[in-house]
Amino acid sequence: MLEQKRIRKNKPKRQKKDRKSANGGKSGMLSVFLYTGVILFMSLLFILGYDIITQGRMFAAKEIVVIGNHQLSREKVLKLAGIAPGVNIFAVNLGVARKRLLSDGWVAEARVGRDIPDRLVVRIREHEPLALLDLGEKYIMSREGTVIKRWEKTDPFKLPLVTGLTYSDLPLQGGTWNESFASLMRVLKVAGTEEGALSLARLERIDVDQGLGITLYASGPVKSARIGFENYDEKFKRVDRLLASLGRSPSDPAMEIMELESDNRIVAGPF
């Protein structure tokens, strides 16, 4: 009899536990549905807000400013960046537009920004052309030593032609310069700061030879000068001192300087 009474007393407890489990399960499901509904509602609000911002006429670009372009036209810069007149300023992906601009050989640096509510600003810095590289085909090289683009006859600037280098002499992006290329860049740097007989404006050709070094060909009082590999700044000054000491006039025939390697002599002719 005692066992039967215990069994009867336990039955109601099991039913209560079962009810609690059922209620807890229903409550959990309701919570999941509630959270899911809130998330979906918030997502919908964000999507609607994004559409309003990126498609609304309020933020249409009334002004697009392009700064720093010299070789590239304004139209070319905007086409590269993927920016059209009247575009919503928030619809422009600034990072993508910058990468598109940097894909052009002329562009060294680029930045695209917004001026809320209706202005876009595109700033670029172009590579400055320094010389032409003859590698079988001619390429324009910048002051940083990078290849900008293939040279075309319509390109408006006059640049000295570099011969004697090969594709293997060109540095990889961010790489180091080999001796031949480093010597060329040192010569161009010195020539760019000089105003004498071998100034950058007078240079017509620069020949780079791994054995003989560098030979310059110019217009003016010096027709050619073999200057080797080192001490270019001093050698340029020695040429100008020689011309000054000889008192040469513009009507005199141009000199050919065959040897400038020694510190105490110059071999030159004709006089």
Q: C-alpha angle 107/128/105, rounded to 5°? A: 30
pTM over 0.75: no
pLDDT of residue 244: 87
pLDDT of residue 247: 80
pLDDT in tens, 172-183: 877 789 999 999
pLDDT of residue 255: 83
Mean pLDDT per 10-residue run, the chain (271 residues)? 48 53 59 66 54 63 95 96 93 95 95 93 97 96 94 90 95 85 95 91 95 92 90 90 80 80 73 53
3-state secondary structure of 248: coil
Q: Which has the closest alpha carbon to 196: 158, 240, 234, 238?
A: 240
CA distance 220 to 198: 9
The residues, any chain, with a CB within 8 Å of residue 1's CB and separated by 6 or more, are: none
49 exposure class (CB count in 10 Å sphere: 0-12, 13-18, 19+): exposed
State the DSSP code for 215: E
pLDDT of residue 1: 42
